């Protein structure tokens, strides 16, 4: 499907839950983690995925909250695969037991993005509220042997500005891609944004031999080659830059609201139309036509509900 500016919209980010077992300082702190509310059921998710497939979605990223907290997560992945979505991906905090890891390896998932902001156990506890570093490192170790694993690292001044080199070395040693994500002023992150924000340029200027490289990837990441490391790193610099001109995605929140942009304040409540597929397709198409050309940069939406 196309929006009003002839951008082809073929990427859906679907938040399947607002539940999470972590308390990340920029997403869902203990003071900012309302009870899960109105989460989509499995059947509602099936209808939504089917509708978007009919409208030409080719890439699906499942996110949350923590998507692997859903008992039916592998059924959802299988369903998307069965109806012909080939490019199915997931984002997780990586707090996974060995049974889930085995199932992921067997699943049709094309890639798994694992959030990892620090390699220091104490800092990891500080960022996530959980003593989980060893478990998450084990997940990376196991999954990278079988699947395309990427690391997502949110840049946080007091936490990891002094760890950039170590994180790049970690990625290189494991032969996986790392993407540094600029902290976005969304939800609870508004409270720490001013003190903790680090821009892509703050990181780039640390390296002398750094060059932007062209990578054909349907994503908002820009990739750079760093000579000192003889390795490539990605940046998702949603604050410093915007990728609106080539944006190909829409988002559905864990409560079934369609948003044309992460920063939009209003969305389309898909639940009102799930009973009638013809109407649902029409409503989605009409809504996507109204996708704005440029994003704003402020939002109160909890990240754990819209999914990042």
Please name every residue paired with 59 in a beta bridge, in sequence order, or none if there are none: 11, 87
Between 184 and 280, name the residue whose CB sits nearer to ligand SAM: 184
In angstroms, the CA 26 to CA 24 distance is 6
User: Per-residue x/- marks for ligand SF4, 249-288, CB under 6 A?
Assistant: ----------------------------------------
Footprint (CB under 6 A) of ligand SF4, residues 114-173: 115
DSSP assignment string, 118-143: -S-HHHHHHHHSS--HHHHHHHHHHH
Classify residue 201 as exposed, middle or buried by CB count within 10 Å of its CB (0-12, 13-18, 19+).
exposed
Q: Which stretch binds ligand SAM (CB under 6 A): 47-55, 183-191, 257-265, 269-277?
A: 183-191
In the bound complex, what is the minimum distance in angstroms from residue 163's beta carbon to ligand SF4? 18
Of 65, 71, 3, 8, the closest CA to residue 253 belongs to 65
SS3 for 181?
A: strand
Choosing from 11, 26, 197, 207, the residue that interacts with ligand SAM (CB under 6 A) is: 26
Q: Which stretch binds ligand SF4 (CB under 6 A): 60-68, 203-211, 224-232, 284-292?
A: 60-68
Find which of ligand SAM, ligand SF4, none residue 189 binds, CB within 5 to 8 Å per kind. ligand SAM
* Number of other residues whose CB lies within 10 A of the CB of residue 34: 10
Please name every residue paired with 273 in a beta bridge, in sequence order, or none if there are none: none
Q: Which stretch binds ligand SF4 (CB under 6 A): 61-69, 145-153, 223-231, 290-298?
A: 61-69
In angstroms, the CA 71 to CA 55 distance is 28
Choosing from 64, 67, 185, 267, the residue that interacts with ligand SF4 (CB under 6 A) is: 64
Choosing from 39, 57, 67, 93, the residue that interacts with ligand SF4 (CB under 6 A) is: 93
DSSP structural state of residue 177: E
Contact 116, 43 (CB under 8 A): no
In the bound complex, what is the minimum distance in angstroms from residue 44's beta carbon to ligand SF4? 20
Question: Site size for ligand SAM, by CB under 6 A?
Answer: 21
Choosing from 186, 257, 258, 280, the residue that interacts with ligand SAM (CB under 6 A) is: 186
* Number of other residues whose CB lies within 10 A of the CB of residue 206: 12
Q: Does residue 93 interact with ligand SAM by CB under 6 A?
A: yes
HSE-up (13 A, CA, CB side) for residue 12: 30
Give the CB-nearest residue to ligand SAM.
Answer: 308
In the bound complex, what is the minimum distance in angstroms from residue 118's beta carbon to ligand SAM? 12
Contact 27, 3 (CB under 8 A): no
* Contacts to ligand SAM by CB under 6 A: 20, 26-27, 63-64, 66, 91-93, 115, 152, 154, 181, 183-184, 186, 189, 303-304, 307-308
């Amino acid at each position: 499907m196309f929006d009003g500016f002839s951008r082809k919209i073929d990427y859906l980010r679907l938040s399947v839950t607002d539940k999470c077992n972590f308390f990340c300082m920029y997403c869902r702190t203990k003071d900012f983690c309302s009870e899960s509310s109105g989460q989509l059921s499995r059947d509602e998710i099936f209808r939504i995925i089917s509708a978007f497939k009919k409208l030409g979605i080719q890439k699906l990223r499942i996110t949350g909250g923590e998507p692997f907290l859903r008992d039916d997560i592998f059924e959802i992945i299988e369903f998307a695969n069965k109806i012909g979505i080939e490019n199915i991906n997931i984002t997780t905090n990586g707090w996974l037991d060995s049974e889930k890891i085995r199932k992921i390896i067997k699943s049709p998932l094309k890639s798994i993005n694992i959030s990892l902001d620090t390699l220091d156990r104490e800092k990891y506890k500080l960022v996530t509220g959980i003593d989980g570093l060893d478990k998450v490192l084990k997940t990376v170790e196991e999954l990278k042997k079988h699947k395309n694993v990427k690391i997502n690292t949110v840049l946080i001044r007091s936490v990891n500005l002094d760890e950039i080199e170590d994180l790049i070395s970690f990625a290189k040693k494991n032969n996986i891609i790392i993407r540094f994500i600029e902290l976005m002023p969304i939800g609870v992150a508004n409270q720490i944004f001013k003190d903790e924000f680090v821009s892509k340029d703050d990181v780039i200027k640390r390296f002398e031999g750094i060059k932007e490289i062209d990578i054909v990837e349907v994503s908002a990441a820009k990739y750079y080659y760093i000579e000192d490391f003889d390795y490539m790193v990605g940046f998702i610099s949603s604050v410093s830059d915007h990728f609106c001109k080539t944006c190909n995605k829409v988002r559905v929140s864990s409560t079934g609201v369609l948003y044309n942009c992460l920063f939009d304040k209003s969305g389309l409540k898909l639940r009102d139309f799930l009973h009638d597929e013809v109407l649902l397709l029409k409503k989605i198409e009409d809504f996507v036509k109204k996708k704005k050309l440029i994003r704003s940069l402020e939002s109160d939406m909890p990240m754990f509900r819209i999914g990042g």
